[in-house]
Structure 1
Amino acid sequence: MKSSKRKKEEVALSKSKVPVQQLKDSEFFGRKGFSLKETLKTKSGIIAEFKRQSPSKGIINDKVSPLEVASAYENSGASAVSVLTDREFFGGSFDDILSIRNHINIPVLRKDFMVDEYQFYEAKSIGADVILLIAACLSPQQVQEFTALSHELGLEVLLEIHSQEELKHISNDIDFAGINNRNLKDFKVDLQHSVDLKNKLPEGILSVAESGIYSEKDFKYLKEKGFDGFLMGEYFMKDENPGNKFTAFISNVTI
C-alpha cells in the first residue's frame, strides 16, 4: 500500500528527531489507560471519530476543534473517541489527541497506519488508550508482534479487516476485530459483507463495525446482527456541529 511506504518514511524521520527514551519521558507515558472493553459495555458502544478529511471524501469538516467535538461526544455517551493522527491522508496530528487527553475520561483510539514499533511508543506518549492495526498493511506475524508490544505498553488493540482472507490475521490476543464496511479498492459500502465476515470470527472476539454507517437504520441493523461496537465519524463530522449531530443520533437510537 502506498500509505504504508509513505508512513515508513515519516517514521524514519521521527526516529531521527525524537528517540524512544524521550517518548518514555513524556507526561502521558506512565498513565493508566482507559479500557474500551469496559466502556463498550457501559456506554453507547459508539467509537465516535474526529476526522477532518479522508482520501475518498476530501475535506469533511476542518472548522471545528478536537476538544469541542470530543467533549460533546463524551457528554452524550460515546464509548470512546477515535482521532486520526495521519497528516498526509487525513489532515490529523498528535496535537489533536494531546489537546483532548486531559479533558475527557473515556478511551482515545489513535487511528493511523501503524507499521513500526516506534509508533506504539508514540501512541503511549501522547495519551492514546487503543491503537488500530490494519490487516491489509501487515502480515499475521506483524499483527502478533505489534499486539504483544501494545499490551506490554498498556494499549488495547483494534484489528481492522476487510476480507475473508484477512481472517488469518486474527488471534485470541487482539482485543477487538474491526470489520470495515467499505471496500478499500472501490470505496463501496456493503453492510451484508460485514455481517457475513462477523459470523466467521472466532468465538468470544469483540466485534466493531467500521465505516459506512450513514443512518440510524444502518446502526440498528448492525446492532441487531450482534456487533459490540460501532466506529462512526463521517456521519457526525459532515455536520457543522458534530457534537449536536451525535447527541441527536444517540437519543434516536436508544429510545
Structure 2
Amino acid sequence: MSNVLDQIVATKKQEVAAGKQLHSISDLRTIAAQQTTPRGFFHAIENQVVKGDTAVIAEVKKASPSKGIIREDFNPVEIAQSYLMGGATCLSVLTDSNYFQGSDDYLSQVREVVGLPVLRKDFMIDPWQIFQSRALGADCILLIVACLTDELLIELNDLAMDLGMDVLMEVHDEEEMNRALATSAQLIGINNRNLKTFETSLSTSQNLRKMVDEKRIVVSESGIHTSEDIKFLQQQDIHSFLIGESLMRHNNPGEQLQKLMTGQVE
C-alpha cells in the first residue's frame, strides 16, 4: 500500500498541475465565495460525542485500489440520502477518480441534496486543492500524514481552517500521531489498515487512542464491520467512526448503518 500511496501522490501531482492550468487560486477563491457557509463538520461530531452518542461519518465510495469495485449500482445522492435516514452524523465523499472511481461532482451533488456536513475524501498535497475543496462546497478535508511533510501538513491544515473548513488528519502509527498532534487539528483519524500489509486491526485505534488528549476527537477508520467492533472501540473511549465499505456492500446502506449502531450486525 505504501507503494500504491506513492503512485497516487505522483498521479495527484499531475492532476493538480493540470488543474492549475484551468483555474487559478484567484478563480477558486471567487467560486468559493459563492458557496454557502461551511456546515461545521467538527461541531456536528462534537455535539454527538458530548451527548454521549455515537457519531458516524458514512462514506460514499464506489471502489478502492485494494478491493476494486465495491458497488456496481452507484448513485451517490441516493446513497447519501440513505445514510441521512440511517442516522449518519456526517458524510465522506470520495473524489479521487483514478484509484477510487470518485468524482468532484459527487461531492457537489451530495451536498446540494443532503444537509449533513461533507468531508472531501482525497489526497491533498498542494494548497491549490484546499481552495478547490472549498469551491466544491466541502465542509472538511482529509489530510493524510503519510503523504505530507511537517511543513506542508501545517500549511494545508491552517489554510483549510482559514477558509472555514475543518480537517480530519489521518494517522497510521505512533510517529504519524506525534506529527499530527504538533498541528492544531481537532479531528484525529486513526486508520486501522496497515499500509504495508493491507490488514486491518482495531488494536491500532486502541493503542494510538492513548496518545490523544480530551481536547481533540478521535475517529476510528477502516475495519469496522460489526456491532461488536463498535462496542470494542467505545470501550477504548472512541465514539466517532468513519465507515464505508461494510455499508456500501448492502442494498440499503443507511438501513445497514442503523442496524450496525443498534447492535444488530454480528
Query: Considering the TM-score relative to the shorter chain, is it more than 0.5?
Result: yes
Per the TM alignment, residue 37 of structure 1 is displaced from its structure 2 partner at its CA by 2.3
The yes-or-no answer on 1:14 pairing with 2:19 is yes
Per the TM alignment, residue 247 of structure 1 is displaced from its structure 2 partner at its CA by 2.9
Alignment counterpart, residue 137 of structure 2, candidates 122, 127, 134: 127
> 1:97 and 1:5, CA in 2 relative to 1: closer, same or farther beyond 3 A?
same
Per the TM alignment, residue 75 of structure 1 is displaced from its structure 2 partner at its CA by 2.1
> 1:27 and 1:157, CA in 2 relative to 1: closer, same or farther beyond 3 A?
closer
Alignment of 1:57-206 (within 5 A): 57-170=67-180, 171=182, 173-206=184-217
**Structure 2: how far apart are the matches of 1:155 and 1:241?**
30
Per the TM alignment, residue 228 of structure 1 is displaced from its structure 2 partner at its CA by 3.4
The yes-or-no answer on 1:249 pairing with 2:260 is yes
Checking the alignment, whether the CA contact within 8 Å between 2:60 and 2:248 is kept in structure 1 is: yes
Corresponding residue pairs, total: 254
The amino acid that maps onto 2:36 is R
Structure 1: state its 5+ residue gaps.
Answer: none
**2:36 aligned residue:** 31
> 1:194 and 1:23, CA in 2 relative to 1: closer, same or farther beyond 3 A?
same
Checking the alignment, whether the CA contact within 8 Å between 2:167 and 2:186 is kept in structure 1 is: yes
Per the TM alignment, residue 187 of structure 1 is displaced from its structure 2 partner at its CA by 0.8
The one-character-per-residue Cα deviations of 1:203-244 (angstroms, maximum 9, x if unpaired) are: 422100001101111111112211131000001001133232
Aligned-residue CA RMSD (Å) = 1.8
Per the TM alignment, residue 27 of structure 1 is displaced from its structure 2 partner at its CA by 6.6
Per the TM alignment, residue 252 of structure 1 is displaced from its structure 2 partner at its CA by 3.2
**Structure 2: how far apart are the matches of 1:121 and 1:97?**
15
> 1:74 and 1:42, CA in 2 relative to 1: closer, same or farther beyond 3 A?
farther
The amino acid that maps onto 2:108 is L
Checking the alignment, whether the CA contact within 8 Å between 2:143 and 2:168 is kept in structure 1 is: yes
Alignment counterpart, residue 64 of structure 2, candidates 50, 54, 76: 54
Checking the alignment, whether the CA contact within 8 Å between 1:124 and 1:155 is kept in structure 2 is: yes
User: Which sits farther off after the overlay, 200-209 or 149-158?
Assistant: 200-209
**2:3 aligned residue:** none
> 1:251 and 1:193, CA in 2 relative to 1: closer, same or farther beyond 3 A?
closer
